[in-house]
Amino acid sequence: MTVHDLLPILTALIPLPTFIAFALIILFFNKWKRVSHSIAIGAMLLAFLMAQVVFWSVIAPDGHELAEHPLHVQIPWLPSGAEALEMGVLIDPLGAFVLFFVSITCLCIFVYSVGYMSEGGKHYDPRYSRFFAYISLFATGMLGLTVADNLLMLFIFWEIMGLCSYLLIGFWWEKNYPDPKQVNPRQAGLKAFMTTRVGDVIMLLGIAYLYSATGTLSFRELLSAETLGILKEMPSYIPGLSAAALAGLLLFGGTVGKSAQFPLHVWLPDAMEGPTPVSAMIHAATMVSAGVYMAVRMFPLLQVGFDIHHGAQLTTPMIVMALIGTFSAFMAATIAVAQDDIKRVLAYSTISQLAYMVAALGIGAYVAAAFHLIAHAFFKALLFLGSGSIIVGSHHEQDMMKMGGLFKRMPVTAITFIVGGLSLSGFPLFFAGFWSKDEILAVAYHAGFNEGIVLAVVVYVFLALGALLTAFYTGRQICLTFLGQPRSDHAAHAHEVSWTVYVPLIALALFAVFFGYIGIPEVFPLLGGEHSNLFHHFVGATLGTETLHQLPHPEQLDLLPFVLSFLISPLGLLAGYLVYGRKPLQAGQPDPLVKALGPLYPVLKNKYYVDELYDAVFIQPAIKLAKWVYKWVDRWFIDGILHNVARGAFGLGHLNRRFDLAVINGGVDRMTDGIKWLAQNGRQVLQTGQVQHYLLQVLFFLCGFGVLYVWGDAILAFIQRLLGI
Amino acid sequence: MTQLVLFVIFGAITLAAAIAVVTARNLFHAVLWLLLAFFGVAGLYVLLEAPFFAAAQLFIYMGAIGVLIIYALMLTRGVMRQQVPLVNDQWALVAVLAVALLAVLSWLFLQHTWPTVDQAVGPDSLRTLGEALVDPGRYGFPFEVASVLLVMALIGAVTIVRER
Amino acid sequence: MMVQLEWYLILAAALFCVGLYGVLVRRNAVAILMGIELMLNAVNINLLAFWRFTEPAAATGQAFAAFVYAVAAAEVAVGLALIVAIYRNRQTVDMDQINLLKW
């Protein structure tokens, strides 16, 4: 047995240490705060080392070898009949890179949490141990999702993360705000859970549909040319859609929920109520990336039938992805411009950047999407951790209008934050964000103007505008936070927190700069060369992609996007500086944008009123419906049955008694007593909190379905005859 | 013919005892009826030529689970003296619905053609089962998970009832 | 005359319905647990009957019946522990008074 044979087993063990850490902390060590964080970090370090061993063992200049022979091990989980449900792990080029960035960001965030949750060792959070237990479980979910070799396992870990997200957003559940309109952590957790649930249910439908259509959920079998060919030809329930398209659309529903795309984006900004390491880990670097990761993973399925050289037909899922991605990217960028909370700006920026990836997938640029996914994870985790450092350093002040002048007081945080900001805005040449965003824009331009896909033109224009806005709000954020004079006492007394906080910042800053150099396009002047785009050669050969050679990929440099991508970021940053940096705001002075944007500003500030719209369209009607159902279905219909049965039996009992007084024995007595009691006390509603009442409703509907199943045709015929049809 | 007679006897024992379980006023009597119902089911297993499960039924259900329920009853015996109604207020409706469910199910069973085979149980069916349960390629993994489940249930039960 | 598969199925269904009745109407939590036991037994009769009449050579039906045993044992242990814990806290095992699910 060689080392290479052991790698799949090592891969299977990666999610294990953090899970053990979770169990140990919850069961035994929740009283000892330092022991808890040592266990969690130790476990994460072990997982990190294992992940890095796997990554560096499989990495190669060309990914085809790994794509054809991925690290793969599986065991039968539960044989049922002829089919056995198999569980296993799989590492292909995409999985290797995702494992790489997930293990790094998770480790950084674990270390950072020590400083953040204890405020630099001075004041430990009362639920400090529980926090580390939760994030350990979360890391298990993310690592497990990365190595999963089938959709079902992916979904299980996906749900584990959803649960952790809920627990961690509501971590400070006792917190209330004086303003009832402001979402408190409890509500934010619920909102996140319920909103993503919508997407998850749609995704589960997609998984079930795929299984019923193909009989397998394993990525290797699903994404083989053979299966994809069958799915492409198979008609679905909806006329005009192939089975592949329908399954793809349903799966994409999961991405929309998890990666916070319009119209399910509303949970992510409110999720900022959680502790900042959580925001960084779950809501920037890992969990929200899982949605895009799944879409990239299933991309061969989503694009089945797309052939750029023969008619250039985008498939339905691709069109949907391109539209939703473009719209979310632009909308979120505009909202971010008008936010004052330092974390909310970053939250909307996350929605916007994830939307870039979705839009890139929509026009076929899956490598660019994967590249941006990883680059974004590094710089956005960095930005969030930086903002957390600012928040703790300036005594829990989150309003940028009350910051200012922090550069001198928190130099390490400031420099790393600015590095992250420049990377986010795609500042040319030196930052990872430039290379990844440039690749998306270049492919979009190529597909739109050289290949003639009209939709790609739209994608390009709006993504470019969005990039300009991104640079502008990044400039605004940096100027408001670090330049000028402090605009409150808190900011005036700000200071660096501790080494556990800024060491992870430095580590992530290095990646936010240097990660981009493994993905320089071949056609780039001077820097580009035959082997410069390592990322493309490696990840481009991901599982199932042998079926898709016909994707837009620029063969030579397009001058216009090249020049534009050099100009957009500096221009946006410059605009931000001119508005906010040249004449720094004074305390109490309103945002200059209020005047400049006029009536548009409140719209942006209130996030296009989407929350209000959802409240009016979904939540209020749901409450009304619930009240209506309660009144008519519960009290009138179900209780009515109960009452009438009771009344009838009561009457019978009376008859019995009058008829047969002499032979009334204990049995009948008992029955009438029971019925009498029932008739008198039966006036109960069914929402009693008693399981038995709920189970009764289940039984009731079960019988109803049974009757429909058995006599459905007869009933239908009867109704038809009754209506004279 | 013998089979038929035995089936009717054991089936009648099982059903009668089961009905007694859910209607008995005294809970201790209900447990005794429950043990009788388990016994009837064990008899049915013998008729189905699954002697291993008949034995397991006797040991696990009549032995372990029966004793466990009696213990629980004794631990909560304070309530046995309280005079509360035996059943809750939805019993009439439930009785109707349960009978309806039985009718629907029976109708379905009778009208469906089952792919039965007329084949004797081999002499080494227990051996087949044992090998399947520990074969890593078949039920080996679920088997291990089941044992973990049992350990967890054990620890969980102890944790829940521990005096603090 | 041989005993048919359907007879076992109907017997199991009847046992299941009786158990279901017990679960839905009894007020004592221990009695509800007994109803659940009856239902689990009905499931096992079904599994073994299908095994005997459709595929006596394979181990599938028996294996699943064995898993039902394991799950039933775990369920009884945890269920009874919960009942004892509730009894300690609230001095009752009457289901009509255990309505903590109420919002």
> Which H/E stretch holds residue A471?
helix A454-482
Lowest mean pLDDT among A193-197, A249-253, A314-318: A314-318
Burial (0-12, 13-18, 19+ Cβ within 10 Å), A421: buried
Q: Please indicate, yes or no, whether residues A43 and A134 belong to a single structural domain of this protein.
A: yes
Asked if residue B41 has pLDDT above 90, the reply is: yes
Choose the mutation target among A695, A699, A702, A711 for the interface with B, i.e. most B CBs under 10 Å: A699
Among A80, A688, A695, select the one facing C99 at the smallest CB separation: A688
Residues 1-30 of C with CB under 8 A from B: 1-3, 5-11, 13-15, 17-22, 24-28, 30
For residue B27, being part of any structural domain is answered with yes
Among B18, B121, B132, select the one facing C63 at the smallest CB separation: B132
Q: Do B141 and A76 touch (CB under 8 A)?
A: yes
Task: Look at residues B83, B107, B135 and tell me which one is the last residue of a structural domain.
Answer: B83
Distances (CA, A) of A620 to A198, A617, A665, C87: 17, 7, 55, 40
The pLDDT assigned to A683 comes to: 43
For residue A484, being part of any structural domain is answered with yes
Lowest mean pLDDT among A183-197, A480-494, A686-700, B108-122: A686-700
Q: Please indicate, yes or no, whether residues B6 and B75 belong to a single structural domain of this protein.
A: yes
**C18: chain B residues, CB-CB within 8 Å:** 15, 18-19, 21-22, 98
For residue B94, being part of any structural domain is answered with no
The pLDDT assigned to B91 comes to: 81
DSSP letter string over B97-124? HHHHHHHHHHHHHHHS-------PPPTT
The interface pTM score, or ipTM, of the predicted complex is 0.89
Closest alpha carbon to C33 in B154, B74, B21, B152 = B21
Q: Please indicate, yes or no, whether residues A692 and A561 belong to a single structural domain of this protein.
A: no
Q: Is A89 helix (H, G, I), strand (E, B) or coil?
A: strand
Q: Please indicate, yes or no, whether residues B19 and B70 belong to a single structural domain of this protein.
A: yes
Burial (0-12, 13-18, 19+ Cβ within 10 Å), B73: buried
For residue A473, being part of any structural domain is answered with yes
Domain region containing A707: 688-725
Among A646, A678, A703, select the one facing B100 at the smallest CB separation: A703
Among C6, C21, C72, select the one facing B22 at the smallest CB separation: C21
Q: Please indicate, yes or no, whether residues A371 and A502 belong to a single structural domain of this protein.
A: yes
Asked if residue A543 has pLDDT above 80, the reply is: no
The pLDDT assigned to B90 comes to: 76
Q: Please indicate, yes or no, whether residues B8 and B77 belong to a single structural domain of this protein.
A: yes
The pLDDT assigned to A185 comes to: 85
- pLDDT tens string C80-94: 888 888 888 777 777
In this prediction, residues A553-581 reach a mean pLDDT of: 80
For residue B30, being part of any structural domain is answered with yes
Asked if residue A16 has pLDDT above 60, the reply is: yes
For residue A400, being part of any structural domain is answered with yes
- pLDDT tens string B47-59: 988 888 999 898 8
Lowest mean pLDDT among A243-252, A667-676, B66-75: A667-676
**B128: chain C residues, CB-CB within 8 Å:** 57-59
Closest alpha carbon to A465 in A584, A359, A312 = A359
User: Which residue is associated with the tokens 């309103």?
Assistant: A590
Asked if residue A704 has pLDDT above 60, the reply is: yes
The pLDDT assigned to A651 comes to: 76
Q: Do A689 and C101 touch (CB under 8 A)?
A: yes
The pLDDT assigned to A93 comes to: 86
B-contacting chains (≥3 CB pairs under 8 Å): A, C
Asked if residue A7 has pLDDT above 50, the reply is: yes
Asked if residue B66 has pLDDT above 90, the reply is: no
- pLDDT tens string B135-146: 888 888 888 999
Choose the mutation target among C52, C60, C86, C90 for the interface with B, i.e. most B CBs under 10 Å: C52
- pLDDT tens string A323-358: 999 999 988 888 888 888 888 888 899 999 999 999
Better-predicted residue by pLDDT, A525 or C23 = C23
For residue A76, being part of any structural domain is answered with yes
Residues in chain A: 725
For residue A635, being part of any structural domain is answered with no
- pLDDT tens string A303-322: 887 766 665 577 888 889 99
C-alpha atoms less than 13 angstroms from C-alpha of B103 in its C-beta half-sphere: 11
The pLDDT assigned to B81 comes to: 58
Q: Which residues of A touch C (CB under 8 A)?
A: 79-81, 687-692, 695-696, 699
Q: Which CATH class is domain C5-97?
A: mainly alpha
A-contacting chains (≥3 CB pairs under 8 Å): B, C
**B56: chain C residues, CB-CB within 8 Å:** 69
- Gap between the Cα atoms of A297 and B58, Å rounded: 52
DSSP letter string over A39-82? HHHHHHHHHHHHHHHHHHHH--S-SHHHHHS-EEEEEEEEEETT
Asked if residue A1 has pLDDT above 60, the reply is: no
Residues 68-97 of B with CB under 8 A from C: 68-69, 71-73, 75-76, 78-79, 82, 84-88, 90-91, 94-95
Q: Please indicate, yes or no, whether residues A598 and A694 belong to a single structural domain of this protein.
A: no
Q: Enter the tokens of residue B105.
A: 């199910």
Distances (CA, A) of A268 to A352, A571, C65: 11, 29, 46
In this prediction, residues A537-542 reach a mean pLDDT of: 75
Better-predicted residue by pLDDT, C93 or A512 = A512
The pLDDT assigned to B14 comes to: 94
Q: Please indicate, yes or no, whether residues B1 and B75 belong to a single structural domain of this protein.
A: yes
User: How many domains are there within chain B?
Assistant: 2
Lowest mean pLDDT among A235-249, A555-569, A619-633: A619-633
The pLDDT assigned to A674 comes to: 64
**C24: chain B residues, CB-CB within 8 Å:** 90-91, 94, 98
- pLDDT tens string A112-138: 888 888 876 777 888 888 899 999 999
CA distance B162 to chain C (A): 9
In this prediction, residues A581-607 reach a mean pLDDT of: 74
Q: Which residues of C touch A (CB under 8 A)?
A: 20, 23-25, 32, 60, 95-96, 98-103
User: Which are the contacts of A202, defined by CB distance < 8 A and separation ≥ 6?
Assistant: A250, A253, A254, A257
Q: Please indicate, yes or no, whether residues B69 and B134 belong to a single structural domain of this protein.
A: no
Q: Please indicate, yes or no, whether residues B30 and B79 belong to a single structural domain of this protein.
A: yes
Going by pLDDT thresholds of 50, 70 and 90, the confidence category of residue A145 is: very high
Q: Is A158 helix (H, G, I), strand (E, B) or coil?
A: helix
Q: Is B81 helix (H, G, I), strand (E, B) or coil?
A: helix
C-alpha atoms less than 13 angstroms from C-alpha of C49 in its C-beta half-sphere: 24
Going by pLDDT thresholds of 50, 70 and 90, the confidence category of residue A681 is: low
The pLDDT assigned to A141 comes to: 92
For residue B107, being part of any structural domain is answered with no
Number of Cβ pairs closer than 8 Å across B and C?
A: 240
Interface membership of B113 toward C (CB under 8 Å): no
Better-predicted residue by pLDDT, A241 or C51 = C51
Closest alpha carbon to A247 in A260, A232, A226, A257 = A232
For residue A648, being part of any structural domain is answered with no
- Which residue type, as a one-letter code, is found at position A90? L
Q: Are residues C11 and B14 in contact, defined by beta-carbon separation less than 8 angstroms?
A: yes
Lowest mean pLDDT among A497-506, A668-677, C23-32: A668-677
Q: Please indicate, yes or no, whether residues B1 and B79 belong to a single structural domain of this protein.
A: yes
Lowest mean pLDDT among A6-20, A169-183, B30-44, C22-36: A169-183
Among B38, B86, B125, select the one facing C41 at the smallest CB separation: B38
Task: Look at residues B83, B113, B135 and tell me which one is the last residue of a structural domain.
Answer: B83
For residue B157, being part of any structural domain is answered with yes
Interface membership of B28 toward A (CB under 8 Å): no
Lowest mean pLDDT among A242-256, A273-287, A514-528: A514-528
Going by pLDDT thresholds of 50, 70 and 90, the confidence category of residue A530 is: low
The pLDDT assigned to A590 comes to: 74
Choose the mutation target among C51, C55, C94, C101 for the interface with A, i.e. most A CBs under 10 Å: C101
For residue B69, being part of any structural domain is answered with yes
Q: Please indicate, yes or no, whether residues A101 and A229 belong to a single structural domain of this protein.
A: yes
The pLDDT assigned to C103 comes to: 43
The pLDDT assigned to A547 comes to: 66
Q: Do A645 and B97 touch (CB under 8 A)?
A: no
CA distance C12 to chain A (A): 17
Longest dimension (CA), chain A: 111
The pLDDT assigned to A48 comes to: 93
Burial (0-12, 13-18, 19+ Cβ within 10 Å), A127: middle
CATH of the domain at B56: 1.20.120.1200
Q: In sequence order, what are the beta bridge partners of A91?
A: A71
Closest alpha carbon to A439 in A517, A327, A328 = A517
User: How many domains are there within chain A?
Assistant: 2
Task: Look at residues A605, A639, A665 and tell me which one is the last residue of a structural domain.
Answer: A605
For residue A573, being part of any structural domain is answered with yes
Q: Please indicate, yes or no, whether residues A290 and A388 belong to a single structural domain of this protein.
A: yes
Kindly report the average pLDDT of chain A as a whole number: 81
Among B7, B75, B152, select the one facing C7 at the smallest CB separation: B7
The pLDDT assigned to B45 comes to: 92
Ramachandran quadrant class, A178 (left: phi over 0; alpha: psi -120 to 50; beta: rest): alpha
Among A687, A690, A696, select the one facing C95 at the smallest CB separation: A690
Task: Look at residues B51, B83, B115 and tell me which one is the last residue of a structural domain.
Answer: B83
In this prediction, residues A614-618 reach a mean pLDDT of: 77
Domain region containing B16: 1-83
According to DSSP, the β-strands at A83-91 and A71-80 are antiparallel
